[in-house]
Amino acid sequence: MFVAQFLQNIQCFQNALAPASCSATSRIAFRASRLWGVLACAILAAFLLGCEEIEEPKPWIRVERPQMLFTDTTLLDSYDKGVLNWRLKTAYLERWADKEVVTVRPVFVDIYDSIGERVAFLRADSGSLDMTFTYVYAYGHVYALTPKGASVRADSLLWNKKDNLVRTASYVRVVSEDGDVLQGVGFESDAQFDNWKILSNVTGIFQDAAKRMKDEDKRQAEAERLSNPPSSSSQAAPKALPAKPSSSPSRKAPPRGLPPKPKAGKP
């Protein structure tokens, strides 16, 4: 009965051209049903909202961050007995709280001699070192320039403060100051790159090899001659010259007290 009345009220509402066809009772019932409809919608909306899941607050997540972070030009100096050994320049430096390792990128290192003069240079994509500067590890497109003008290229180089040597076990390529190209596996040098060597599988290309070998042979021969001069005892004694014969025969003088022998004459 209520449903039929509700449908009739809807029909009266839609029929705007003939509102007189609906009775007063129908209009009152229509208003009541409209209120019930609004109330039902409100209840339904409240029910739907109540069924939505309430999001619980997410737990606080700790984000790990480095203890030390520099994103601008930074300089690190290493001294030995008050003398500057090397200076590292980088644009990014970080250090984590649970580690003693400092990571830098890129790497630019100036190397100094015992009197503080800049003698060598090194650069790499990245590097790492400890806080006490006992080692420096450079890796990624490593390039070094020696005091004599030779260049060294490698995948990585490691400097150890204990023996003050630079080493690598990777492939290395060296171009000497004369233009010679040497390459192999493994490399060892002093900290200033004055004295270096390639450890194994060495191959090379030498400029003007024949001419340089001849010049080297001449230098060695000259050095041996100067270091071993001939001794005085080995020199031959001068030969005695024979006596020169006289131009006229010599006459013996007669003994004293005897008359001279008469000359033979003609009979």
Tens digit of each residue's pLDDT (9 = 90 or more) over 112-133: 988 888 899 999 999 999 988 8
Query: Would you tell me which CATH number, out of the four given (2.40.110.10, 3.40.50.1100, 3.40.50.80, 2.60.450.10), belongs to the domain 68-205?
Result: 2.60.450.10
Residue holding tokens 């995948």? 155
pLDDT digits (tens, 9 = 90+) for 228-255: 776 655 555 555 555 555 544 445 555 5
Better-predicted residue by pLDDT, 260 or 181: 181
- In a 13 Å sphere around the CA of 208, the CA atoms on its Cβ side amount to 7
Residue position matching structure tokens 């939505």: 52
Model confidence at 188: pLDDT above 90: yes
CB 151 within 8 A of CB 132: no
- Banded model confidence at residue 174, pLDDT cuts 50, 70, 90: very high
- Whether the CB-CB separation of 185 and 174 falls below 8 Å is answered with no
Q: Element (H or E) spanning 128, and its range?
A: strand 126-130
Global pTM? 0.58
Give the pair of three-digit tokens for residue 15: 């029929």
In this prediction, residue 166 carries a pLDDT of: 95
List the chain domain ranges.
2-41, 68-205
Report which of 161, 157, 160 is spatially closest to residue 121, judged by C-alpha positions. Answer: 157
Q: What angle do CA 203, 208, 214 make, to 5 degrees?
A: 105
Residues 6+ apart with CB under 8 A from 86: 77, 78, 109, 110, 111, 112, 136, 191
Q: What is the mean pLDDT of the chain?
A: 77
Q: Which carries the bigger pLDDT value, residue 113 or residue 45? A: 113
Tokens matching residue 148? 């004599």
